[in-house]
Each structure stands twice: as structure tokens, then as C-alpha cells.
Amino acid sequence: MKNKDRQLMIMLFIQVSSITLLSLPVSVLRVYSISTMTIVKSIQRQQIEQFLGVLLNVLSLMITGSSFFLFTLTGTIFREELKRLIFKCLPMKYTNNATAVSKTRKQEAT
């Protein structure tokens, strides 16, 4: 297998794993909630379950943004393409400005 194909497979495996890990607790909580609907619960237990529900929903919302960070951390192909895109979108005056600053410093030194 080529290097690019191997890296893409690793990135795909990491994305599938992260989606599974971040969405599984919400499913478990829903099964728990449905199975304990008929039980009379104290106010404290209801509040704990609501807190866990909110916390797990926030974790499940992180699925959408986690792919970018995981790809940036694990995929060199993704990082190279991201750098290329950023440098393509940035104005060229920043790179020209650095050479202009070094030229003016050399002129001031003489």
C-alpha cells in the first residue's frame, strides 16, 4: 500500500473511532433513561441524570469539530494541504514585508 493510502486509512480509522467513542455514551444514557422511566426517582437522582445528559450531549456535539483536530494531529498529508491552503490564501505582503524589514535594518546598521 502506498504511503498516502496508508495515512488516509489511519485517518479514517481514527475518525471512526472518535465518532464511536463520542456518540456511544449518549446511546447508553438513552437506553438507561428508557429502561428506568417507570421507576420513581428522587430529585437528586433526576438532577444527576439531567447533568449527565447535558454533559454527554456536549461531548456528542464535539464530533463535528474533532475531525479537524484529529486530522491535524495524525495526518501529514492533511497538514501539508492545510499549510498550502493557508499560504495560498494569505496575502503575499507578509512574506515581502519580512525581506523589506531585513533590508531596512541592514541600511540602518551602515
Query: Are 22 and 60 a contacting pair, CB within 8 Å?
Result: yes
pLDDT in tens, 61-108: 888 787 777 777 777 777 888 888 888 887 665 555 555 555 555 555
What is the domain extent for residue 39? 3-109
The secondary structure of 61-103 as a DSSP string is: HTHHHHHHHHHHHH-HHHHHHHHHHHHHHS-THHHHHHHHHHH
pLDDT in tens, 19-69: 888 888 888 999 999 999 899 999 999 999 999 999 988 888 888 787 777
The DSSP code for 14 is H
Exposure string for 43-80, b = 16+ CB within 10 A, e = fewer: eeeeeeeeeeeeebeebbeeeeebeeebbeeebeebee
Tell me the angle at which helices 63-74 and 76-89 cross, rounded to the nearest 10 degrees: 100
**The three grid cell numbers given for residue 14, joined into one nine-digit string:** 481514527
Q: What total number of domains does the chain contain? A: 1
